[in-house]
Amino acid sequence: MKELELFWEEVKCQIKRTLPDHSYRMWIDPVELLEHDGHHIRLSSPNSYSVKRLKDNYLPIFMEEFSKLGHKDIHIEFKVTSQDKGGPRKNVKKSGSYPALALKPKNSKQMTLPGLNIRFNNGRLLKKGFTFDDFVVGRNSDFAYSASLSLAHGKRNGSNILYLLAKTGLGKSHLSQAVGHHIITHSQSKRVYYVTAEDFTNEMIHSIKTNTIDEFKERYRKKCDVLILEDIHFLAGKDATQKELAITLDYLFEADKKIILSGYELPDDIPKLNDQLKSRLTLGLVTEISAPDYETRVRILKKKSKALGYAIPKEVTEYIAQELSDNVRQLESGLFGVAAKGRLMGYDIDIELAKSVLANIMNIKKRITIESIKKLICDEFSLSEKEIISASRQQRIVKPRQIAIYLSRKYTDQPIKSIGSSFNRYHATAIYAINAVEKELKQKSVLFEQINYLSKKIETGKL
């Protein structure tokens, strides 16, 4: 059983590295491995809409990652699993895309709220391991942790609003969900809504199209005790959603409800965000989570290894912590890679094995820069560097430029402002380019295949 779990964790870990963060969390993270016999793989999905979405957009990615691990001649099946029927499921975590958020107590059904079963309501269950007990606190996160715990306990210092600021993979999702877990498990409230800004936007649009906007407003303004809203930066340029959210926050604030927000930029730095919403987002306490230091990275690896049952020698743990310093997800990727290669290939887990696994991660990382991505795009689309940074609005230049900006955001640690500057574009224009590519990717158009092709080149170091 442990080998199957390890195998699956490695597949998800690799997929996580190829997709935008919000896409991975929305569609891939809730999927769990149910059965695997070498030629047939059955994966769980929380509902029929998710299954359709996975088949239409992500099946080739699953096939490719399984193939990389030696399973080329396989059939992948997605099965809708429900926690309300047939007793508990094996090997399936309580995560998914159901709108009502409540942990499932023993011998009881999943709590739901009335009117929340519409198709595009992608609110989701809190992730099982994202609790305060499972969070490793370091100097990089002690203030954010204390502020989150204080809010969860109901101890306030002037406001019920908390804004968690951090780059991808540093723990803002973990802490925001930990607040929800604590409130639910301590019976403070069952009406905890955990959504991303994209979820909120899609649900609002759907409610307008189906003439259910009043129900949408009622749900968030009067039937919500705790709102956990992630990826605030997604709202850049979305005026209607910004206005609705600002009013919603007013209702919740005046009713003394708890609000946990997160993003990788400060509200004042998010382009095309109206002043009305900015003022609401900055009402509460803003805390930042930075990259963990070496000692914290070691403790994170030890805790993760213990939780997953990995027997990783001390010197290997310390080596991984020394070499991978960007974020927690990178650490986990290295840990999964070392453990998977050791177990699947029958190798001893030692420094040499760790070096062989991490070498690929480190070498690729060193080669990936904005300039190297820019050069790759110019070569692939037969453009000159002068053209791609020019003011031209020709489609043959605009689309490759947007792709280059999107890939620069995905594969480098540079802030969006710096990425935009590299292409002679304003911050807001860079945000628009990233959103435009992400929107088109969901339609599984030609761009979907182009991005997969280019991503493979970048990840294999063929720059």
Residue-range domain boundaries for the chain: 2-80, 142-289, 308-365, 370-459
SS (H, E, C) 55-76: HHHCHHHHHHHHHHCCCCCCEE
How far is it, in rounded angstroms, from Cα 422 to Cα 134? 39
The whole-number pLDDT of residue 402 equals 94
Which one-letter amino acid corresponds to residue 125? L
On whether the CB atoms of residues 233 and 263 are closer than 8 A, the answer is yes
The whole-number pLDDT of residue 367 equals 64
**DSSP character string of 102-165:** ----TTSPPP--TT---TT----PPPTT-SSTT----TTTHHHHHHHHHHHHT--SS-SEEEEE
The whole-number pLDDT of residue 116 equals 34
CA distances to 85, 281, 451 from 50, in Å: 18, 31, 22
On whether the CB atoms of residues 422 and 374 are closer than 8 A, the answer is yes
Q: Kindly report the CA angle at 249 between 245 and 250, in degrees rounded to 5?
A: 120
The whole-number pLDDT of residue 411 equals 81
How far is it, in rounded angstroms, from Cα 4 to Cα 122? 29
CA distances to 17, 62, 356, 449 from 33, in Å: 19, 12, 27, 26
The whole-number pLDDT of residue 124 equals 63
CATH tag for 370-459 (out of 1.10.1750.10, 2.60.40.1290, 1.10.10.10, 3.30.420.140) = 1.10.1750.10
User: Considering the domain 142-289 in this protein, what is its CATH number?
Assistant: 3.40.50.300
The whole-number pLDDT of residue 363 equals 57
**Spans in the chain with pLDDT lower than 70:** 1-6, 20-22, 38, 69-72, 82-124, 155-159, 360-367, 460-463
The whole-number pLDDT of residue 463 equals 60
Half-sphere exposure at residue 51, Cβ-oriented, CA atoms within 13 angstroms: 13
Neighbouring C-beta atoms of residue 164, cutoff 10 Å: 29
How far is it, in rounded angstroms, from Cα 82 to Cα 109? 11
Q: Which two tokens stand for residue 283?
A: 């009402």
Helix (H) or strand (E) holding 262: strand 258-263
SS3 content of the chain, % helix, strand, coil (to 5): 55, 10, 35
Cα torsion angle, 78, 84, 86, 89, sign: positive
2-80 adopts what CATH topology?
A: GMP Synthetase; Chain A, domain 3 (3.30.300)
The whole-number pLDDT of residue 314 equals 92
308-365 adopts what CATH topology?
A: Helicase, Ruva Protein; domain 3 (1.10.8)
Half-sphere exposure at residue 94, Cβ-oriented, CA atoms within 13 angstroms: 19
The whole-number pLDDT of residue 456 equals 80
Taking each helix axis from N to C end, the angle separating 328-345 and 2-16, rounded to the nearest 10 degrees, works out to: 140
The whole-number pLDDT of residue 122 equals 35
The whole-number pLDDT of residue 438 equals 85
